[in-house]
Each structure stands twice: as C-alpha cells, then as structure tokens.
Structure 1
Amino acid sequence: MRNLLFLLLIAPAALASDFWLAPASYRVAVGASVPLRLLIGENFVGETWSRPMRRVQRLVRLGPTAAADTTDLLPALLADSLAPVLRCPAAGTHVVALTSRLAYSELPAEQFTAYLREAGLGNALRQRQEAGEAATKPGREAYRRCAKALVLASQGATGRTLGAAADTAFRRVLGLPLELVPEQNPYRLRPGAGLTVRVLSQGQPVPGALVQVWQASASAAKPTAAPVVTHFTTHTNSQGRVLLRLPGAGPYLLATVHIENAPPALAARADWLSTWASLTFGGPDVGLPVR
C-alpha cells in the first residue's frame, strides 16, 4: 500500500516530464559515430528513458534531401539502449524522429486536475469542470510521445555542408501524431533572427497550443560549468505557429502537448488521449561557415 501511494504521488510529475532526443553533438562530421540519448526530465535536464525497447514504436534518421535516404535506428537502439549510434552519411541537416507506443495512467481526481493545470491542458480541465467530474472522477489517460532532433552534418575540415536550396528535410512534415516543424533552418539563421515553428497534430495546425522553449548555453564566467538554461513559454497563433528568436548556438528544446477525448477503441482503459512532442536542435553559430 505504501508503494502504491508513492507511485500515485509521483505520477503527475512523471507524466508532465518532457522527453527529447539528445545527440552528443548537434553538429557532426559526415559519417562520424554520434551517441544519441533518449532523455526524460524537466528544465532541459534529463535522465535516460528506461526500457526504450518496450516503448519505442519507430526511430528513424531522415536524410537532408530525399525520403529515400532513411535509416532505421531500432537495430542501433537494440544494440545499445542507453546511447544508440547515429551516423549521418551525407552533408546537410538530418532529422531523427521517434514515436512511442501508447502507455496508460490513472490518477485520482485531485491529482489529475493538478497535472492538467501544470501541463497547460486547460481544454480538458474545463471539460471535466463543466461535466462536474473535476472533483470526483479519476483521470484515465492514454499517452504517447513524439520527438525530433535536427543534426547538421558537414564535410571535412572546411565545414562545408549542403546548399540551402537542397537542404529541406528540416521542414518536412512527417505526419507524426504531434510534431513541431520549423519553417526556417535554425543552423542557417543569424543570431537573433526569427524562427517560425508550426505545431501540427496529424498534419493539421493546432491553434492556442502552449509551447515551452529552453536554451542551454555555456556560462561566460565559467565555460566548464554546467550549461545555463533559460526558459520561456508561448502559444501558437490561429495558424498553429509560434515566432522565436535564437540568440546563440544553443542547443534548444521545444516541447508541447495536445490532449483530446480518447477514441472509442481506447474507452475500456482511457477517457483521454494525450500526445507529447519535442524538437531539439543547435542554433546559429557565427563561427560555422554555411554554404
């Protein structure tokens, strides 16, 4: 009973934690072996996601120019679930994308309300309040995670990469249950330039979505110290877009969540279906030649 109580107390925090893909470097040499960590945590500080082989449905690398340049990373995850190896065989911006299988949770009414508030899921909270369920009905939820990372590969000592006109994978809509899609390549922006990002659910824009943004940067006073993390939140406009300013090289983490009534197929186990999405990338770097 004590263990059950402990699990109930930590469940809202666990569900509200963000999940993201963290390559050892967001700027890599063509063909180099790069460890890729699957992290879960808060404030851009994470721990390795446990038991990923049970949860990961799809993990792929998509090449800069064509869908044909795709690598299934599940074998690499099977070989090393802590840090599977990623290799980018061509110059340009590669996309790594993950989707998870469904998991389920049930929380007492009060804790589910607190979780909805913390995660910014006001639509579900209002619906429960209007139905008179917020104070009494447990929250039964199915949830899944989607994550993307952008990795820039360059060739040789010159740092030469792909021309901007051909380097298009970063803006490709992958049709994930929920995804963040940048409309400009963050590696080609000048510091302080605007970056627009769309939030899409099954390819359709999500207006009013809460988007959290973190930037991790080295301390100017102590470059060897832990990164300084800055954070802010914003909401998508009526077209499902947010406008961001990238002051430096990052890396950056963007995260959002979408909740809806569970479809009839899940009714036996869940009243709600939530989808969590993240996007990680490096940012502008004036020291990196872009061609």
Structure 2
Amino acid sequence: MKALQGIDGNLEWAERAALECDVGQIRIRVAAAGLNRADLLQQAGHYPPPTGASDVIGLECAGVISEVGAGSPWKVGDRVCALLAGGGMAEEVVIDGRHALPVPEGMSLLEAAVLPEVYATAWLNLFKLAAVQPGEKVLIHAGASGVGSAAIQLCKAFGNPCWVSVGSPERLEHCEALGAQGGALRHDGLDNLRDFGPYDAILDPVGGGYATLNLDLIALDGRWVTIGMMGGRKAEMDFGKLLAKRVQLIGSTLRNRDDDYKAELLLDLQQHVWPLFAEGRLSPELARSYPITDATAAYAELAGNTVNGKLALVIDASLS
C-alpha cells in the first residue's frame, strides 16, 4: 500500500508494507483523511507517534471496511470513520474495531473523515474532563480551528454559552455563525473578553502565552484545560490567584491514551454526539479538500492559520 510519511521534514507518498488484520481489528480502505495541526508537528519531526503506533501520518480517516478480524461486530462494506494514533493518510489502515464509528446518516466519507479527532477532543476536554454543565460559560481559544469549530457546536447543542479568541474578523464571523456569543481578535488584544466573563471552563490550545490571561478570566471553581502549546510551553503564574479561585488546571492529550480509554470515549460520542449530526445540529465544517498528491499544499494552507474548520486529503475518490 501507499502511505504519507514525513521524512526529514518533507512529505512522501511512498510504498509501505500492509499490516495483518488481527483479532478484534478491522481493515479500512481509506477514502479520505482529516488534516490536523498535530500532523504538521509530526511532519516537522516534533511530535513522534506513541510507542507501537504507526509512523504514517494521520489521526483520523473515513472509508469502507474491507476485512474484519475475529470478534469484531463490524461487517465488510460498512462505512466508517476512525480515530487513530497514526496511519490515517494511507490507502488502507488496520485498527482496533472499537475505534471506528459509523458514518453519520446522510454524510459523505469525505465529510466524515474530519469528524473523529476534533469531536473526540472537544467532547473529552469540555464535557468529560472539564465536566461543563448546562448554562456554564465557556471560553474557546483558537475558536475557528477544527477543534474550536467542534467545541462551539457542542456548546450550543448542550446549552453552554461560549466565547472565542480568533485571529481575524472573518474567523470571528465563522465562530458566531456556528453559535459563539462573541469574542475577541488577537491583534486587538484580548482584554475585552473580560466583558463576557468570568468563564466556568476554558479550552486552550495556545499554552504559555495565555496563562496569565486565563487565570484572570476564569471563574471561581473554574476548569482550565490546556491541550496545546501554540503560544509557548513556559509561563509565569500567580499561584495565589490559582488557589484563591480554586481553579482546576488540567493538561490533556488524546493521542497517547490507551485503547480501552479511546474505546469508551468513542462509545460516549456515538451515544451522545453522533445522533446530533443526523438531526442537523452538528456539522463537519469541511473547508476544503486536496488530493493526496497535493498534500504539501494542504499542509501549507493549514500552517498559514487561515482555515476555518477542517481540511481533508482525498485518498480514494472512487469510494462513496
């Protein structure tokens, strides 16, 4: 099979050995794969896959099952999307069958390819770890990103008013169209976020650069979940304020969680989130797709920080 690999900072669509399909696993013929910021980091050599995971790039994909290992309830021909620790940008992938979800009713494989990573991330960090309750206020940094777009929609669906920080007026409009109450532009400063706070939960992929701001904006007993370091990995913090506000500061990653944890998370998504796609209350927010042969252009667009929602790479356009 062919697969996308990051070699010395470059992308290469090259031959790789196919994997065996073992007990409980499924083989997916991949139609498309979602592109995430973690893929940029892996390509650059800054985010190696967890031990035992494929070094092929790609944390999510969608396609058609072509083989089913013993003990899995899936059938050959089922249309699925999958959450992966690696390997999604390939002609086929072999995964734990518990890490696949059915393609939502009425959705294409291309659209479904951009769902698993961002919706799993948003659901895990806001509704599981931060345990937001209906009516609680949420602040989402990088609100127009893939995770941000998913988080806004989930907040709207589950009764949580949310605000965002973004990089441009166009991106703020995108977030408000999805359900955000409002927000602030980075280049104007983020002080006016104080007008809407304090916030019961903050979802932050920026890291060190926003630490002081987050601590000022968070409410008493607030939950602050850090999922990235786009703005740096170090910061000074007033621990007196952290203690006085009884803040829960949570560092979270999804990729290196164990198989059982991910299986339980996806069951939760299937029960609570997936029905909302069929009802039209959630959408994939697919901004654009590229053929796999144009992966370099897709990576460059994502790195430019102008994408609202998600990008996808088409691997087999014949699948539907």
Q: TM-score range by the shorter chain?
A: under 0.3
Q: How high is the TM-score relative to the length of structure 2?
A: 0.23
Greater strand percent: which structure? 1
Greater helix percent: which structure? 2
